[in-house]
Amino acid sequence: MRFLVRPASEISIKSKPVRRRQMRMLRQNIRKVLIRLDPGIEVIGSFDRIDIQVPEARGLNRPVVDALQRVPGISLIQEVAIFPLVDLEEMSARALELFSSELTGKTFAVRARRQGEHSFTSSQVQREVGARLLHGTEARGVDLKIPDVEVRIEIRDGEYHIARRVHAGLGGYPLGSVENVMSLMSGGFDSSVAAYLMYRRGVRSHFLFFNLGGTAHETGVRQVVHYLWSRYGASHSAKFISVPFDAVVSEIMATVHHRHWGVVLKRQMLRAAEQIAAANGTSAIVTGEAVAQVSSQTLANLNVIDQACQTVVLRPLVAMDKGDIIKIAVEIGTEPYARTMPEYCGVISKQPVTKARTYRIEADEARMNPQVLQQAIEARSDTPVDRLTDSLETPEQVELISTPSMEDVLVDVRHPSEQEREPLAATNNRVISIPFYELGGRAGELQPDTRYLLFCDRGVMSRMQAAQLQASGHTNVQVYAPAGRS
């Protein structure tokens, strides 16, 4: 099977030098992503298209489409069937074979293009194939303006291509073609969607987390960052930077007027983010703030907050409703993480200021010990995002089972998208699906007389969840670690 990739429309209108550079980067990004599926996949590019040749009989078509739909800079992905050119009769028969089941009750149009010398014209191809499809299927008719189905045929010298299905891409620019940014991540709906939108725009991101809630919160944020990166940014390396901010919070609460806590906290975060962004060569700071969503996000407060640093602050969600943000989180798969993310609410004022005055905020900050913020910045930890799940601290006392007994029940705790891509199969054991973020609420479903073995790809999340369940009294929970995967 061959796939034809068309770049996003914004790439197509660039000057020739810029377009060539962005197309070259798009090809490189596609290669980096697809080589993980199969080294035998070929990616060949030109000025206005990219052709991808996928080895037959390896079950790669669906994974390839899924991967391409997550690569920024792509407008359309066409599945293309390739045949040797015999004559129009044979071509019409092939088209009928491919589209007979798809045209029932629908209108269609045949679009043909030729390259090279042939004994027929493109119009003849369209008429001949169109007639065969009209009489050989239960199509509703031909509609040349707005058809339900387009049958695209491209003839190149001694062969022809028939486009089978068309899939929409992310659009935007190729990842890495725009400057780097530092995305502030809390793991909630807003920050994860903001980071996704920057990826979609082709912006390479590092991730900055201010730890206010301890190990549980950081574990959750690591999971969502790794998920986002692996889905939409894996063609480029990225860092996850964690800053211990509990001492800064304590300093704020001890010295700052309680109505100013939220605004001052955001200003301290931006000051820290500016230093860390500069040290990592990033050009902007990205936050998930939206106008008037909470008290610190009024226009007056955002103005005061932004005065804390000189680096540009980007807010992709600035005019979005919460419902729209959640809808995107559902579409990209971060909603389950955000819904169950541990939150830290220790810096919420009873009567937070909505129209902060810069001179009052600065007077409060003058009473703070500046060394506290600097110490937090210096105590930060950097982890490559591709190693995030490897570097999580996991309980060593949880028993690992490589060969389950027939009575054991295997519990797949992976994200549903991971389960769908690579289902857990077991010959003798029942397999149930309980994503890790639902385990706490569904622990009551576990029967005391049954042993449950939790499974995830790397064994990290399964160990952590098993340890938590054991601590809460579910001593019949262990970890399934099949040979070669734990």
| 269 Cβ neighbours under 8 A, 6+ residues apart | 184, 210, 245
Model confidence over 223-237: pLDDT tens digits? 899 999 999 999 999
HSE-up (13 A, CA, CB side) for residue 14: 20
Nearest-angstrom CA–CA distance, 166 and 6: 11
Does 335 lie in the same domain as 218? yes
Count of domains forming the chain: 3
Would the pLDDT of 477 be above 60? yes
- pLDDT band, residue 346 (cuts 50/70/90): very low
Does 417 lie in the same domain as 380? no
- Residue 486: the pLDDT is 46
Query: Whole-number mean pLDDT of the chain?
Result: 89
Nearest-angstrom CA–CA distance, 204 and 172: 12
Would the pLDDT of 318 be above 90? yes
- Residue 226: the pLDDT is 94
Give one word for 172, left, alpha or beta, with left for phi > 0 and alpha for psi -120 to 50: left
Tokens representing 16 are 């020739």
**Which of 387, 420, 445 is the C-terminal boundary of a domain?**
387
- Residue 419: the pLDDT is 82
Decide the pairing of beta strands 452-455 and 409-412.
Answer: parallel
Would the pLDDT of 260 be above 90? yes
Q: What are the backbone dihedrals phi and psi of residue 259, each rounded to the nearest 5 degrees, phi first?
A: -70, -20
* 456 catalytic per annotation: yes
CATH at residue 337: 3.40.50.620
**Which of 355, 387, 419 is the C-terminal boundary of a domain?**
387
- Residue 447: the pLDDT is 92
Give one word for 334, left, alpha or beta, with left for phi > 0 and alpha for psi -120 to 50: alpha
- Cα 229 → chain centroid: 6
Does 219 lie in the same domain as 94? no
Averaged over 437-453, what is the pLDDT?
87
Does 189 lie in the same domain as 125? no
3-class DSSP state for residue 264? helix
Does 197 lie in the same domain as 132? no
Ordered DSSP codes for 277-325: HHHTT--EEE----TTSSGGGSHHHHHHHHTT-SSEEE-TTTT--HHHH
For a pLDDT cut of 70, what percent of the chain falls above it? 94
Nearest to 30 by CA among 61, 81, 75, 74: 74
Would residue 337 count as lying in a domain?
yes
Would residue 82 count as lying in a domain?
yes
Would the pLDDT of 484 be above 90? no
Q: What are the backbone dihedrals phi and psi of residue 256, each rounded to the nearest 5 degrees, phi first?
A: -100, 145
- Residue 416: the pLDDT is 78
Does 447 lie in the same domain as 338? no
Averaged over 308-323, what is the pLDDT?
95
Look-up of token digits 């993310």: 341
Angle separating helix axes 246-255 and 261-279, nearest 10 degrees: 140
- pLDDT band, residue 143 (cuts 50/70/90): very high
Does 459 lie in the same domain as 362? no
CB-CB contact of 176 with 279 (8 Å): no
Would residue 427 count as lying in a domain?
yes
Tokens representing 436 are 């890790």
Nearest-angstrom CA–CA distance, 61 and 81: 12
Q: Among 185-199, 288-302, 456-470, which is the least confidently predicted range?
A: 456-470
- pLDDT band, residue 334 (cuts 50/70/90): very high
Beta bridge partners of 241: 208, 382
Nearest to 415 by CA among 230, 238, 240: 230
CATH at residue 404: 3.40.250.10
Q: Which of 256, 376, 456, 466 is catalytic?
A: 456
Model confidence over 155-183: pLDDT tens digits? 988 999 998 888 999 999 999 888 999 99
Does 288 lie in the same domain as 383? yes
Would residue 15 count as lying in a domain?
yes
Model confidence over 289-305: pLDDT tens digits? 999 888 888 999 999 99
Does 301 lie in the same domain as 186? yes
- Return contacts of 25-29, CB within 8 angstroms, 24+ apart: 25/73, 25/174, 25/175, 25/176, 25/177, 26/50, 26/71, 26/73, 26/74, 26/174, 28/235, 29/71, 29/72, 29/73, 29/174, 29/175, 29/176, 29/235, 29/236
Beta bridge partners of 477: 452
- Residue 39: the pLDDT is 92
For a pLDDT cut of 90, what percent of the chain falls above it? 64
Burial 365-402 (b: 16+ CB within 10 A, else e): beebeeebbeebbeebeebebeebbeebebeeebebbe
Would residue 476 count as lying in a domain?
yes
- Residue 217: the pLDDT is 77
Does 359 lie in the same domain as 223? yes
Does 62 lie in the same domain as 22? yes
Would the pLDDT of 311 be above 50? yes
Nearest-angstrom CA–CA distance, 22 and 40: 24
CATH at residue 136: 3.30.2130.30
Model confidence over 41-69: pLDDT tens digits? 999 988 788 999 998 877 888 999 999 99
Would residue 212 count as lying in a domain?
yes
Does 193 lie in the same domain as 151? no
Model confidence over 34-43: pLDDT tens digits? 999 999 999 9
- Residue 485: the pLDDT is 56
Model confidence over 66-96: pLDDT tens digits? 999 999 999 999 888 889 999 999 999 999 9
- pLDDT band, residue 337 (cuts 50/70/90): confident
Would residue 465 count as lying in a domain?
yes
- Residue 345: the pLDDT is 47
Would residue 485 count as lying in a domain?
no
**Which of 354, 387, 420 is the C-terminal boundary of a domain?**
387
Burial (Cβ within 10 Å: 0-12, 13-18, ≥19) of residue 175 = buried
Domain around 442: 400-480
Nearest to 210 by CA among 257, 247, 180: 247
